A and B are shown apart, each in its own frame.
Chain A
């Protein structure tokens, strides 16, 4: 399935899930390898939600 076919809601739900997980790991075990992995994923998802959607090569606005 292409990324663009996912709704913003699905991305937000996933981001929330990742944030909860990373927060839990950071609080219990600290900045471990597992925390880093989740944080990488978290940022990958977050980037799709901001103004700068990284999946487009150039802006569609002019």
Chain B
């Protein structure tokens, strides 16, 4: 049985493939394990001694061959030989761990219907095939400035279908003994940091690296670091280390005790002599808060937004919008274009009001478009018939909604909260912006709760019991509303039931508004509760509440059961079965006391008009009925 692991990316990704390769060999000891990478980077995998064959894709050689060809048609003979050679290996399994059009085309070429393909490949029509969720996650976190990353090695192992053990992450004693790494005393546990990067966006300056290392060191006193880079980056790594040590001593005023090594990677041509593997962590992950991310298993819920939408088709390069694809074969390519339901003639109609669509649209291309009917003639009236479809939001379907317009109109908090409000996270949900105004209004109402003064001035009163303010202490009602909200939101967050949290906020704000609550003791915790859902609004309110630190750094409010215990009951008082008024009485009041209090009440006397009732029925905690 032959297994091919394909990794056509660069150093960083190849390093991250090491543990997966080791795990594959452990899981399939009798399988012949091959590894395909670019020739330039093949040295990065060479110290992994469990591979049976390292196959190299010589990019330069192939390109030179076709560039030197004088033929008018591209000469594919060289690449054909190479690809056919790979195909002849008849791999039982091909694991493509790189995302690139190139790797998916190669996977598609060298596999057949019997091959167990994992990772990116191509459909029968050549469209990109992302066959599993881990690959979709790799696709989703491509690029820079994406902080919610999942450790790439973990994703690679999920694509390959293997588990990783502690031993898979480290460098084996055998490799160290071979001397190929030019180092013999690696720390027992360390974080390896690849300081290289292929583009300027992926690079950090020495100051930034040293800051990251400092933060990591502070939160993990036992942690050592190993820096990886090419020989060209040797000087750069020294800079990082110098800054790191200085900064740390300055901050802690103590000896570092940290083991910082810099290991040198030679240039591409010299690579077979060295590589270090350790625990590879995407350093960007925690750059924002400086915490060291151990291999916490975090639950990932993938939520799809689907579209109930009407669509027209955009003819690429022609700037024309047409009814459907059947009638128009003269356009280059027809791309369905999403039309918001609000532009329909009415919600049941499939006709779109063109003037409304054009007026609302921020798409310049749409503004200049010519609308054509089924017969290829320009639409004369203002209505155009469209198709309606329900489908997942996906780049390949050209139906992804650009959130910028929504953010501009309603704000990012409204969008964020509305996405949460759409329905249970794990279920597919139709995307319909018609409801976003509701959430937007709620946020405005939340804002108004804190701005009840003259001319909508910010007004929050401090409780006398909490520091001598002139306001009133929060009422039992206020506290009940707050704590039932804390309880519900806490449970909802645990269960990823964010939509019900938003409903709870709406109920809470309605109740507090009705209660005319201005107490800091209530409004401060409420801002914290809301902050994960509407961070910008919450942060603004937090600043107005005279806090200098960010709301994201304060602890979550603590739920206290005692505030939810009802101490009184609003009894309905009925006469001969008909409720006439209500009376609030303590819940622990005895039956006799309830009867005497009700009978003594002036409204009871008014109802009885001097009569003596035949019977008084008292059900404690429920009802009082006076008969006769």
Contact = CB atoms under 8 A, between A and B. Distances in A.
A5 to B, nearest CB: 9
Contacts of B100: 43, 47
A31 B203 contact: no
A44 B63 contact: yes
B198 A2 contact: no
Contacts, number: 116
Given A6-B67, A58-B229, A62-B236, A37 B109 contact: yes
Interface string B64-79: 1011100011101001
Contacts of B76: 34, 37-38, 41
A18 B74 contact: yes
B200 A31 contact: no
The secondary structure that dominates the A interface is helix
Contacts of B198: 52, 56, 58-59
A59 B203 contact: yes
B433 interface: no
A55 B198 CA distance: 11
Nearest to B229: A58
B109 to A, nearest CB: 4
Interface stretch (B122-130, B177-185, B319-327, B592-600): B122-130
B63 A48 contact: yes
Interface residues of A, number: 38
Contacts of A33: 109
Interface residues of B, number: 46
Interface in B100-119: 100-102, 105-106, 108-109
A34 B232 CA distance: 41
Contact of A41 (B62, B124, B196, B267): B62
Interface in A14-62: 14, 17-18, 21, 26, 30-31, 33-41, 43-48, 51-52, 54-59, 61-62
Most B C-beta atoms less than 10 A away, residue of A17, A26, A57:
A57
Nearest to A41: B79
Nearest to B76: A37
A44 B126 contact: no
Most A C-beta atoms less than 10 A away, residue of B105, B199, B202:
B105
B491 to A, nearest CB: 46
Nearest to B77: A37
Contacts of A55: 40, 59-60
Contacts of A40: 79, 83, 102, 105-106, 109
A56 B38 CA distance: 12
A35 B74 CA distance: 12
B230 interface: yes
A54 to B, nearest CB: 6
B102 A47 contact: yes
Given A44-B62, A59-B202, 13 more contacts: A17-B73, A18-B66, A36-B105, A36-B122, A37-B83, A40-B83, A41-B74, A41-B76, A56-B198, A57-B267, A58-B230, A59-B200, A61-B199
19 contacts: A1-B68, A3-B60, A6-B64, A31-B124, A31-B126, A37-B83, A38-B76, A40-B105, A40-B109, A41-B76, A43-B102, A44-B102, A47-B100, A47-B102, A48-B63, A54-B10, A57-B10, A59-B196, A61-B199
List 8 tightest A-B contacts by C-beta distance, closest first.
A31-B126, A43-B102, A57-B268, A36-B109, A3-B60, A61-B200, A58-B196, A37-B76
